[in-house]
Structure 1
Amino acid sequence: MPQKVLLYCDPGIDDSLAIIYALLNPEIELVAIVTSYGNVDQEQATQNVAYLLELADRKDVILIGGAKTPLSGEFTPYYPEIHGEQGLGPIKPPPTIKGELLNFDAIFKVIEEYGEELIIVDVGRATSLAISFNLAGEETMNTVKGFYLMGGAFLTPGNVTAGAEANFYGDPIAASIVLEKAKQGVLYPLNVTNEAIITPEMIDQIMQGENNPFQALVKAIFDYYFEAYQELVPGIEGSPLHDVMTLFAVTTPQAFKYVEKVVTVGLDEGNLRGVSIADFRPKPDEEGNKLTIALEVDYTSFSDDFVKVMSNSLSNQT
């Protein structure tokens, strides 16, 4: 049976490719998507998800409106030079496509329906997931099978500041709440997601067949993303798809090496804002909620899987 997934996201190119990956993966059953601010504003994120679901003819996937600002209420900058003005690189979703957007409490109905059959995956700012914990409580939220979270960086540089990764930096208060309350939480930080490099050659391989309605879109938004990364990281041979790797982990956890640690997040407005902290000493001083942290990944397993899944037809879905 495919793994049922409730996805929190903020599309954005990386998130969009992750959604496409999930829709094409016969081992994943995407039951609902919570759209939030992050790479674009919440309204545009919703439009982007509705567009992808329309292309897949997946009217069964529930679309839920998430947070519009971080818990602090502060202004959120967007990065059109990386994701495009509307979050899909050069692509502009038709304005006529409007998904039916359900209220936030639909999240709890999904959790009640699927319970321990469900994995919650959050690849964006943690705001909506933190609000879910605050509204429903730990007991209800932790009835699910587990939480797969993209965020943080351990003993490796950040990608927004010297120490902070973008999702944790974007709403450190929310990240702190989730890391404190989520049981069976697995964290996929930059340590592994920076390794999720997809190259133009892989995209060309995917494009060789006309297997699904996403292929032209994938090519266009990847090329835009890769060009942005070449500016950010001179000499890079491809683009890291952080969010796709987190969904890859849902079906292939054995491709990673893990440690268990208590994780805290810097809340100050100084150099520690959004910095993920864990005690890696031989005898760590740890009290609190332990999370599983992925620190290494089998890249070949990931890259082979990505090309295979993205070359699938929608009829491969069960």
Structure 2
Amino acid sequence: MPQKVLLYCDPGIDDSLAIIYALLNPEIDLVGVVTSYGNVDQEQATQNVAYLLELGGRKDIVLIGGAKTPLSGEFASYYPEIHGEDGLGPINPPATIKGELLNFDAIFQLIEEYGDELIIVDVGRSTSLAISFNLAGADTMNSIKGYYVMGGAFLIPGNVTAGAEANFYGDPIAAGIVMEKVKNGVLYPLNVTKDAIITPTMINEIIKQQNNPYQNLIKDIFDYYFKAYQKLVPGIDGSPLHDVMTLFAVTTPQAFKYVEKVVTVGLNEGNLRGVSIADFRPKPDEKGNKVTVALEVNTNNFAENFVEIMSSSIPDNNQ
């Protein structure tokens, strides 16, 4: 049976490709999407998800309105130079497409309905997931099968500051709450997601045959994303798809190597904001909630799987 997934996201090119990947993957049953601020504002994120679901004929998937600002209430920064003004690179979703947006308590209804059959995947800012824990309580939220969270960076450079990754930096208070309360949680930091490189050659392989309604969109938004990354990381061969790798992990956990760590998140402004901290000494001094942290990945497995899934037709179970 396909794995039931509730996805928290903020599309964004990377998130959009992750949604497409989930819709095309016969091993994933996407039951709902929580749309939040992050790469774009929450309203635009919602429109982008509705557009992708419309293209795939999947308007049955529940759309839930998530957070519009960080828990601190501060102004959220967006990244049009990376994701485009509307979050899909050069694509402007038709304004006529509007998804029916359910209230936040629809999250808890899905948890009650699916219980330990459900995995929650969070590839955006942690705000909406932290709010979920604060509203429903840890017992309810941890009654599901587990959590796959994209965020953080350990003993390597960040991608927003010298030490911080974008999701944790965007709302460090929320990231800290999630790391403290989540059970059966697996964290996918930059250590592995920075290696989720997809190249133009792979994209050209994907669009050789028109097997699904997303293939032209995939090329257009990837090309935009790749040009942005070429400016950010001169000489890079492709673009890292952090969010897609986190969904890849749902069905292919064996492609990774893991450790268990207590993870805390820096809250101060400046160099420590959003920095993920864990004790990697031979004899760590660890007290608190442990999460599983992915530190290595088989990149060949990821690349081959991505090309295969994105080249395929929408599976029967996802129509």
**In the alignment, which residue of structure 2 is the partner of 1:120?**
120
Deviation at 1:207, TM superposition (A): 0.4
1:92 counterpart = 2:92: yes
**In the alignment, which residue of structure 2 is the partner of 1:298?**
298
Deviation at 1:215, TM superposition (A): 0.4
**In the alignment, which residue of structure 1 is the partner of 2:153?**
153
**In the alignment, which residue of structure 2 is the partner of 1:309?**
309
RMSD: 0.6
Cα separation, 2, equivalents of 1:212 and 1:199? 20
Tell me the amino acid that sits aligned with residue 158 of structure 1: G
Deviation at 1:316, TM superposition (A): 4.8
Deviation at 1:144, TM superposition (A): 0.6
Cα separation, 2, equivalents of 1:312 and 1:287? 46
Cα separation, 1, equivalents of 2:316 and 2:17? 18
Cα separation, 2, equivalents of 1:195 and 1:315? 28
Cα separation, 2, equivalents of 1:119 and 1:244? 15
Deviation at 1:315, TM superposition (A): 3.7
State how many pairs are aligned.
318
**In the alignment, which residue of structure 1 is the partner of 2:242?**
242
Are 1:24 and 1:316, in contact at CA under 8 Å, matched by a contact in 2?
no
**In the alignment, which residue of structure 1 is the partner of 2:37?**
37
**In the alignment, which residue of structure 2 is the partner of 1:136?**
136
Cα separation, 1, equivalents of 2:29 and 2:113? 14
State the SS of the aligned residue for 1:87: coil
**In the alignment, which residue of structure 1 is the partner of 2:258?**
258
State the SS of the aligned residue for 1:314: coil
Are 2:35 and 2:65, in contact at CA under 8 Å, matched by a contact in 1?
yes
Tell me the amino acid that sits aligned with residue 297 of structure 1: V
**In the alignment, which residue of structure 2 is the partner of 1:271?**
271
Cα separation, 2, equivalents of 1:315 and 1:262? 39
State the SS of the aligned residue for 2:96: coil
1:227 counterpart = 2:227: yes
Cα separation, 2, equivalents of 1:75 and 1:270? 16
Deviation digits for residues 209-231 of structure 1, max 9, x if unmatched?
10000000000000000000000
Cα separation, 2, equivalents of 1:312 and 1:134? 39
Tell me the amino acid that sits aligned with residue 252 of structure 1: T
**In the alignment, which residue of structure 1 is the partner of 2:205?**
205
State the SS of the aligned residue for 2:58: coil
Deviation digits for residues 152-195 of structure 1, max 9, x if unmatched?
00010000000000000000000000000000000000000000
Tell me the amino acid that sits aligned with residue 80 of structure 1: P
Cα separation, 1, equivalents of 2:25 and 2:96? 27
Tell me the amino acid that sits aligned with residue 10 of structure 1: D
Cα separation, 2, equivalents of 1:317 and 1:137? 32
Deviation at 1:270, TM superposition (A): 2.0
> What TM-score do you get using the length of structure 1 for normalisation?
0.99
Are 2:26 and 2:315, in contact at CA under 8 Å, matched by a contact in 1?
no
**In the alignment, which residue of structure 1 is the partner of 2:179?**
179
Deviation at 1:288, TM superposition (A): 0.3
Cα separation, 2, equivalents of 1:212 and 1:106? 30
1:108 counterpart = 2:128: no
Cα separation, 2, equivalents of 1:146 and 1:314? 26
Cα separation, 2, equivalents of 1:270 and 1:59? 43
Are 2:25 and 2:315, in contact at CA under 8 Å, matched by a contact in 1?
no
Are 1:193 and 1:241, in contact at CA under 8 Å, matched by a contact in 2?
yes
Deviation at 1:126, TM superposition (A): 0.2
Are 1:24 and 1:317, in contact at CA under 8 Å, matched by a contact in 2?
no
Identity of aligned residues (%): 81
Deviation at 1:317, TM superposition (A): 3.9
Cα separation, 1, equivalents of 2:63 and 2:242? 22
> What TM-score do you get using the length of structure 2 for normalisation?
0.99
Cα separation, 2, equivalents of 1:246 and 1:75? 27
Are 1:164 and 1:274, in contact at CA under 8 Å, matched by a contact in 2?
yes
State the SS of the aligned residue for 2:152: coil
**In the alignment, which residue of structure 2 is the partner of 1:56?**
56
State the SS of the aligned residue for 2:30: strand
Are 2:147 and 2:185, in contact at CA under 8 Å, matched by a contact in 1?
yes
**In the alignment, which residue of structure 2 is the partner of 1:167?**
167
1:286 counterpart = 2:286: yes
1:23 counterpart = 2:23: yes
